[in-house]
Amino acid sequence: MAYNPDDLTESRRTELEAFMLRLGVGVKRLDIINQALTHRSYSFEHPPVEDNERLEFLGDSVLGFVISDYFFQRYPEASEGDLSKKKARVVSRALLGRVAKSLDLGDLIRLGHGEERTGGRRRASLLGSALEALIGAVYLSEGFEVAARFVREQLIVRLADMMTQDEEWDYKSRLQELAQKRFQTTPRYEVVSTSGPDHDKTFSVRVLLMGQTYPAQSAPRKKSAENQAARVALEVLESEASSKAPAAPPDDGPAGCATGETTRGAAQSATTGAEPRPSVDAPAG
């Protein structure tokens, strides 16, 4: 990949330098940083300027390694499957886009006119890709240790509150699993209302399942509102299941006597003379 130092105006150089210093990263190669913040739409309109896609590929690998190491150290008891799920959530384009937005990265990305008109500067996937490219650029300019520190100090810090809400992502999948098992269907999510300006919206979402509507929940992001609505629906369904469950008969016998299904089977045998039915959880002998 050929980097072009002449592609940097003095004002652009000053802007990028101030931005990187604000992130705590002094870089020698501002031309690579500039490349990392160049979308393909801009390159298409300004040949032979190259876009950031190769740097995105590189940054994705650096980010993946640092995040994997972080989770490996932080959760020593977690299984490989659990660690993979945590990593997948954190390195998703949507989540990275939110982090990029918090860094004001969108203000620095060079876009083509068409992409600019269609709101590309606010698009999470575009922002997330640019952030990965920036990580790749820091790696090329300053080496792995500086790039890893940048990820740990700037990205993971901003992701910390999301990472402590691991269960948030599980509510929807848990509700879907329960609905399929109990009702052979899946829940629907309905946006009841939205409020606030475009840059600071609040979404109110409710769950609809088997003709039942569950209380709406609000959050700054639609997905978070859906997850919280799923949590409320789960709580209601689990509460209903508990209240409908038959009470276990009292155990009046001495310790070691059979209880539960065995006791009920014995009572049936004594009343009807029939052999007790085996438990549905155990194979018949």
pTM: 0.60
Burial (CB < 10 A; 0-12, 13-18, 19+), residue 77, is exposed
Among positive and negative, which fits the CA dihedral 57, 161, 207, 218? negative
Residue 267: per-residue pLDDT: 39
Tens digit of pLDDT for each residue in 72-119?
Answer: 998 888 899 888 987 887 888 878 988 999 999 999 999 999 999 999
- Cis omega before residue 76 (within 30°)? no
Look at residue 279 and tell me whether its pLDDT is greater than 50: no
Residue 191: per-residue pLDDT: 96
* Catalytic sites, residue numbers: 60, 132
Residue 82: per-residue pLDDT: 83
Residue 4: per-residue pLDDT: 59
92 vs 13 pLDDT, higher one: 13
Residue 253: per-residue pLDDT: 46
Look at residue 276 and tell me whether its pLDDT is greater than 80: no
User: How many Å apart are CA 116 and CA 146, to the nearest integer?
Assistant: 32
Q: Are 28 and 42 in contact (CB under 8 A)?
A: no
Tens digit of pLDDT for each residue in 200-228?
Answer: 688 999 999 999 999 999 877 888 889 88
Q: What domains are there in the chain, each with its CATH number?
A: 5-164 (1.10.1520.10), 168-244 (3.30.160.20)
Look at residue 245 and tell me whether its pLDDT is greater than 80: no
Tens digit of pLDDT for each residue in 130-150?
Answer: 999 999 999 999 999 999 999
Tens digit of pLDDT for each residue in 152-203?
Answer: 998 987 876 655 554 456 788 889 999 999 999 999 999 999 988 776 688 9
In the numeric block, the tokens 């829940």 are attached to 187
User: How many Å apart are CA 218 and CA 95, to the nearest integer?
Assistant: 19
